[in-house]
Structure 1
Amino acid sequence: MRADAKHNYSHILATARGVIAEFGTDASMRDIARKADVGLATLFRHFPTREALLDALLRESLEELTAAAATLQASTAPDVALVSWLREAVAFVRLYSGVVTLMAAALSDPNSALHVSCANLRSAGTRLLENAQAHGMAEKEMTGSDLFALIAALGWLGDQSSFASRSEYLFEVISNAVLSVRTPRQQ
């Protein structure tokens, strides 16, 4: 990639990150191009679809969350690892309004640009959940898909102004329900 093209690519991504954080995943591609001070054709040359732009924008964060799961599993008690990762995942989906819908759709569409990243993320969460279950610390009936759905639900709650003030409390209620064994400090 030429230096100017690489600069445009990075600049568009940085601009898109801000626009999407402010207006959600339905932000106008035209607005992104305008704020990045590039032509719409330049934007579409780098990112032919909204999903391609979102994949480039979100892939790094999704990969970081996936790596965080492995790190937590290797270095932390299973129940603490699961709740810590759950908290990080919920914080991520709250950052980008509308990302939950995209991630859920990507999981059921193997042709989606986001499919691999989202599937890897769900697998990482599933491993943490299964590890906690194997140690008798998490509800046995819960699945990785259930955990992913809870991330989506908790992220959605944080986006709703009428629930936002209670989102931390609701996170604690949900995480306590996921874990079947709690230490006195956590109860």
Structure 2
Amino acid sequence: MRADARRNRERLLRAARDTFAEQGVDGSLEEVARRAGVGVGTLYRHFPARDDLIEALLHERFERTIAHAESLREGGDPWAAVEAYLRDVLSDAATFRGVAASIKATMHDASTPLGTVCALSRQGWSTLLEWARAEGVVRADADADDVLRVVYGIAWAADQRRARRPDSDPRIEPMLRIVLQGLRS
């Protein structure tokens, strides 16, 4: 990628972070281009569809989440690793209003950009969960995809609550504690 194209891409990602933080993932793509100081055509050359832009924003977050899980795994405490990973996943899914629904809709569709990055996250989680199960700290019947669906469900529920009552507590932590208690062996 040429240097000017790389700079445009980075500006578009920064502008998308800001726009989506304010307006959710359904925010105006024209606003993203305006904030980045580029034309809409430049935006679409880099990100042909909205999901491509969302994927690019989440990809680096998911990679950090997986790296964090690996570092915790090296620390040798499987329960701490499981708890931290699920908190990170929940934080990633709650990054922008509407992103949890986008993830939920495409998490098992590897033909989409967002589905591809979700597969990366699921793979890291599956490895971590298998380790925790082998160590006896997680229920033997815990299914990796089911746990992620519940966590994304929490993010979606919190998102819905924020949409109805923006100043309210989305109650993420109490819901996550219930999931963690149910997951522990």
Q: Could you tell me the TM-score, scaled by structure 1's length?
A: 0.87
Partners of 1:123 and 1:144 within 8 A in 2: no
Partners of 2:72 and 2:81 within 8 A in 1: yes
How far apart are residue 12 of structure 1 and its match? 0.8
3-state secondary structure, aligned to 1:38: coil
Task: Write the deviation string for residues 68-117 of structure 1: whole angstroms up to 9, x where unpaired.
Answer: 22222221311111011111111111112222222233333221112332
Question: Which amino acid is the alignment partner of residue 133 of structure 2?
Answer: Q
Partners of 2:108 and 2:119 within 8 A in 1: no
State the alpha-carbon separation in 1 of the partners of residues 108 and 172 from structure 2: 28
Partners of 1:93 and 1:100 within 8 A in 2: yes
Question: Which amino acid is the alignment partner of residue 116 of structure 2?
Answer: V
State the alpha-carbon separation in 1 of the partners of residues 182 and 78 from structure 2: 15
Counterpart in the other structure of 1:51: 51
How far apart are residue 122 of structure 1 and its match? 0.9
- How does 1:87-102 map onto structure 2 within 5 Å? 87-102=87-102
How far apart are residue 5 of structure 1 and its match? 2.2
Counterpart in the other structure of 1:104: 104
How far apart are residue 158 of structure 1 and its match? 2.9
Q: Could you tell me the TM-score, scaled by structure 2's length?
A: 0.87
Question: Which amino acid is the alignment partner of residue 136 of structure 2?
Answer: G
State the alpha-carbon separation in 2 of the partners of residues 152 and 172 from structure 1: 14
Partners of 2:21 and 2:96 within 8 A in 1: yes
Unaligned stretches of 5+ residues in structure 2? none
State the alpha-carbon separation in 1 of the partners of residues 106 and 170 from structure 2: 30
Residue 164 (str. 1) matches residue 136 (str. 2) = no
Task: Write the deviation string for residues 156-180 of structure 1: whole angstroms up to 9, x where unpaired.
Answer: 2332236735322222122111112
3-state secondary structure, aligned to 1:137: coil
Q: CA RMSD in A?
A: 1.8
Q: Alignment length, in residue pairs?
A: 180
State the alpha-carbon separation in 1 of the partners of residues 100 and 177 from structure 2: 20
State the alpha-carbon separation in 1 of the partners of residues 52 and 171 from structure 2: 34
Counterpart in the other structure of 1:141: 141
State the alpha-carbon separation in 2 of the partners of residues 176 and 109 from structure 1: 30
How far apart are residue 61 of structure 1 and its match? 1.0
Partners of 1:9 and 1:46 within 8 A in 2: yes
How far apart are residue 44 of structure 1 and its match? 1.0
State the alpha-carbon separation in 1 of the partners of residues 93 and 31 from structure 2: 22
